[in-house]
Structure 1
Amino acid sequence: MRQCPDCKIILDDDVRHCPKCGRGLGANTPSTGHDISTLLTSANLHRIRSEWDKAIADATEALRLDPKNPDITSLIAGVYEERGMLDEALVWYQMALELKPDSDADKARMDAISAKIAAKRKAAGTDSFRVFEKRTKLWAAVLGSVFVIVVVLAMFSLFPHHKQAHPVRPIHPSSAHSSVNVYAMKSGSSEQAAPHLGMSDSGKSTSTASESGGSLRIPAEVYIRSEIANAQDVSETGASVDDVVVDPRIADVIVTFSVPIKGNITKDQILRAAVAISRKTFQINPEVKFVTARCVITTGGPKGVQIAFIGDIARVTLESLPANTTDQQAATYFTRVFWNPQIR
């Protein structure tokens, strides 16, 4: 930039004649660079043209000549503000106020820029938080779904089969006059029919019940007990069948058995006998849906006979297992299990 010596107007370096007074300007008559007013005028001209770097260069040169001039720092601050460099503009407005603390215009501009910077940073922080919140919700949903699946699988593995709260079909006939005896027991190649389990027409108990071991048992229960006791698989476990009770309401047979005490009785020993007894019970009568295995032990001490184990198993569970399933594996499918704490 150069200045006309007569008119004192600022012109570009490549202008050869002053448009106002017509004076010719040589190629080597640029501004001396030491006139602060000329530099500020040139800086403002570049500012109007959005020539930010040139405007800052002229203003910085003027500040070098007059470092205490608040108008120069205010001009530089304005250039940075219009350029969109708010942080730099804020610094220069602060410098202008240090040189001229009573400048209301610079203070107002500094406050406005401070508010813009704060709003910009808050918006950026809010956007970041929203992105983080969305990602957090997404991961929470994924982890929640995985947790639900794990819980369902865990419950299914722990309780693979449940005894039905209501029997699907009762074992006993629906009427005392029914001609179908669902407790017909097979003996050899012919069927041996057991009496009905209900009451006779006269309201008196049927006379086919027999007494065994001090307990009144019907022939069906006596028959099941005899068949289980004579089964080879049961005998191999060393178990003795002590009692059999039939619950026709839910097609359940409760078998009480004991195992010989030889040293310490283990859970595996009891479970092996319980599985063998359950298999044999289901084999004897296809109408039986559940078996409740009940193991008792005689301690010989002051407590006498104690319950060692109780567990339920369903026919559908036992028959659905693969053929190569071991007794130990089958034993894990007993439900509502009770163990005497003394059994290890």
Structure 2
Amino acid sequence: MKDCKNCGWDEHDTLVPSSAKTDIERLIAEANLARMRGDLNGAIDLCTEALDIEPHNADVHSLLGDIYKTMDNQTEAARWYQMALDINPNSKSDQAKLQEALAAASKKKRANSNSPTNNWLQPVDKLDRAIRYFVLFCAAAVMVLLIIGLTTWLINSRKENKAPTESPTPKTESVENVQSKTVSAPPVESPIIGEPEGGTLIRPLAEQTLLSKLATNPTIQQEKLVIEDVKIDPRTDGIEITMRFSDKPTALTHIVIRKAAAVAATAAYGASDDAKMVTVRTLVSMPGEYASGEPKLAHICDIPRDIVSVNISGADDAVLSRIFVKEWWNSEIGL
């Protein structure tokens, strides 16, 4: 029996129950989503939970390395990349990440060692040591005296200004006057897309997993699309996607928006075998009166699973319009 020196994994024990694999995939998806949203500590907690289930999962170790790299803790990132390679020595990506993290950590260490701040307390001789300690002692004494003086001044000021005050008798107003002074509450603004009024969005696990898969889909990233929200209707096995362009296209036309919607729908069908219909809502930012405001809803359509057999890049407007169902265009934008 041979164990990994870092994580203690028995290399002969490779059988993991299918239920545990499902839990690990869920935790990895949630950790990726938390990392993308900037919740790095939450992502670390999810990875730790995954390692409790399967300590020898190389993907989790590599993901922890990515998280610590984002936190600019290159030394810790290198440690997790090394553990991932101990489990899967053939991973080219982890090898590259390890070399990059080690180089960054070495460069940071050299920069810190050359900093004048780090060398200030390193005396040249005994006399130099005594002088520097005396300066530190004097600075500390001055700070203590300043704090004592400030505290004494505040106490004396409160004593001088403290005087008995009579609480005024509150006036009793009639019900009519109170009602006449009542100000109507301002209208509540509608919440931002994908976020509830209360603040943090509570999303079902299936929607979290689908959102993570779509956000990391290579084709969606290549087309520079941003998935704002995903909803799943279990009654109809339907998926609703709200998306926008990360960069404004050079020419914003019907065919551009239709192809973007087709890409999103194809990715959704690829991530969900149970989906029967995908509804795509496309937001756009337009010049003129829309330039400084929130993106506007430009297009809604239902796209059946037939779209997966279409060559989207080579499809023209007529082909896509025949497949799309219940299309709606915002006439105010004027595409």
Band of TM-score, shorter chain: 0.3 to 0.5
Return the index of the structure with the highest Cα Rg.
Answer: 1
Q: Which has the higher helix share?
A: 2
The TM-score normalised by the length of structure 2 is 0.37
The TM-score normalised by the length of structure 1 is 0.36
